[in-house]
Amino acid sequence: MMIYDIPGKESQKEFKRIQKFIHGLGDYHKEAEEAKRKGHNPPAQMLVGKTQGDFIYDLDGNEYVDFHSGWASNPVGNANPEIIEAVTDAFTKYGFTYHHPLQEELAEKVAAITPNQALTRASFEISGTEAAEAAVSVALRYKNRPLIISFSHAFHGDSLGAKTLSAITIDRKINLEAWRGGVIHVPYPITYDLPIDVTPEQYVDYIIWYIEEFICGMVAPADSIAGILLEPMLAEGGSWTPPVSFAQKLRKLCDKNDWLLISDEVLVGLGRTGKTWAIEHSGVQPDILVIGKNITGGIMPNAMIMGTEAAMGSNSARSGSTFAGSPAGCAAGLKTLEIYERDHVIAYAAALGEKALKRMKKWETEFPSLVSNVRGTGLLLGATILDKEGKPSVETAAAVQNEALRRGAYIINDTESSIRLYPALNMTEEHLDRGFTIIEEAFRVVSKDDYVISSWPRYFTTQ
């Protein structure tokens, strides 16, 4: 198997040029020198030169199977030419104008595919972050109550407001402690949080008890809470699928207490999990859906919330911004949905997800000391990576990511002890298999007794 010497010459040159301009981009050269001094591998890095379909190419021309998909935002492949054409047409026709007919067209199309076609009111945003915040502000206004419940491990965005709603890593909370006033965080049922001998179902019951008895009994009265902001499956928190009873029991709690149930489907919505909406796996009706990423077709920013007539029909909560629901953004959404329908993209993703998971499950037996908790629903795929002591390890997961990158597969590891895979929903089986073969080679390399993890492999790529 070919091993890329990355960053290659062109990428290195570009890193050197840009690193002093971009906030948060690691100083590659310092990292590489430090690694060399310690006798470690330098962190694997590359800069994207071009993207196409299931692949990305770095500035040095190396090819990578893309399991990153622009943070799960390219549902029908990178730089999809049909979506580019639709967006170009919209630019040519409308440029940017605030009032245009494509918003209504897209709102009508999305309303028709919401659960039970019950979410008929749309509000447009630019990003998933804005959309999550908009959903919360709608709920607070509609219920005329000040508080919202959200979950551990949740990620709803990186703005000031969305950071307070999220609970993914503590470094995102530094100096924000005083800003989270209206948010009550409760546990999310992921495997690694389960106390010993407690089943996922029992943990769900505990969380329901915690909300009902502890939160509503001792922290805040139920009638001060407007609703629950739920990721029906955890996306950035590590590709986890909770028991179906979780959303079902939360729905009951919402009905009992007159709360809204908001399903944040920014990453898991529009087919990622093999159904149109992730919450459909539990048969639960949300009051508001938060939509982003896939609705852009990977080409033009767009996001929206869809709500019931009751919640949003005459709600005076304001959201949105100048460029929300732009003509080009809506054109991207409309073309994406047209491709979904024509090519049966979601059914294909469900079938590909089953094949993917079948192969991934073998990783647990082939690499028992490195890989555990292989998981997936549709193409929301993930696996926990263990260190030599058998503990989930962010550093070892990053090492797997690095070694996969060196061999031509671009996978995700961010701040969690997992790797995550977000192939395009229409990735070919051949490309998926090729990527998996590379990932398996990365497992083999990192599993070796004498493998040394790079000094600090946290800085990578161009994101």
Ligand X SMILES: Cc1ncc(COP(=O)(O)O)c(C=O)c1O
Q: Least separation, in Å, of the C-beta of 78 and ligand X?
A: 17
- Smallest gap from Cβ 339 to ligand X, in A, equals 20
> Contact with ligand X (CB under 6 A): which of 14, 231, 414, 441?
231
Provide the minimum distance between the beta carbon of 299 and ligand X in the complex, in angstroms, as a whole number: 14
Sign of CA dihedral 7, 73, 394, 166: positive
The least CB distance from residue 168 to ligand X, in Å, is 10
Q: Quote the Cα angle for 65-46-357, to 5°.
A: 30
d(CA 281, CA 30): 47
Q: What 8-state DSSP symbol labels residue 59?
A: T
The full DSSP string for 234-287 is BSTTTSB---HHHHHHHHHHHHHHT-EEEEE-TTTTTTTTSSSSGGGGGT---S
One symbol per residue from 59 to 78: x for binding ligand X (CB under 6 A), - otherwise; what is it?
------------x-------
- Please tell me whether residue 129 binds ligand X under the rule CB under 6 A: yes
Pairing verdict, β 63-66 and 409-410? parallel
Q: Which of 64, 155, 277, 443 binds ligand X (CB under 6 A)?
A: 155
Give 115 or 128: the residue with its C-beta nearer to ligand X: 128
Q: Within a 10 A sphere around the Cβ of 222, how many other Cβ atoms?
A: 17
Give whichever of 136 and 235 is closer to ligand X, judged by the CB atom.
235
Nearer to ligand X, 295 or 356 (CB): 295
Q: Could you tell me if residue 325 is left (phi over 0), alpha (psi between -120 and 50 degrees) or otherwise beta?
A: left
**Which residues, numbered 233-262, are part of the site for ligand X (CB under 6 A)?**
235-236
Task: Give the residue, chosen from 128, 227, 238, 271, that forms a contact with ligand X under the rule CB under 6 A.
Answer: 128
Long-range contacts of 448-451 (CB under 8 A, 24+ apart): 451/399
Query: Closest separation between CB of residue 237 and ligand X, Å?
Result: 9
Among 140, 266, 380, 399, contact with ligand X (rule: CB under 6 A): 266
Q: Between residues 83 and 446, which has the closer beta carbon with respect to ligand X? A: 83
Q: Which of 132, 138, 412, 427 binds ligand X (CB under 6 A)?
A: 132
CB of 454 to ligand X, least distance (A): 26
Contact region with ligand X (CB under 6 A), list: 37-45, 103-111, 122-130, 437-445:
122-130
Q: Answer whether the bond into residue 7 is a cis peptide, omega within 30°.
A: yes
Helices (H), 149-209: 160-165, 200-209
- Angle, CA 431 vertex, CA 430 and CA 433 arms, to 5°: 65
* Stretch 287-346 residues interacting with ligand X (CB under 6 A): 292
Among positions 157-186, residues that touch ligand X (CB under 6 A) are: 157
By Cβ distance, which residue is nearest to ligand X?
Answer: 128
Task: Output 231 or 287, the one with its CB closest to ligand X.
Answer: 231
**For ligand X, the closer CB: 43 or 325:** 325
Q: How many CB atoms lie within 10 A of CB 146?
A: 12
CA 420 – CA 267 distance, rounded (Å): 13
Where does 73-169 show beta strands of DSSP type E? 121-125, 147-151
Size of residue set near ligand X by CB under 6 A? 15
Binding site for ligand X (CB under 6 A): 71, 127-129, 132, 155-157, 231, 235-236, 264, 266-267, 292
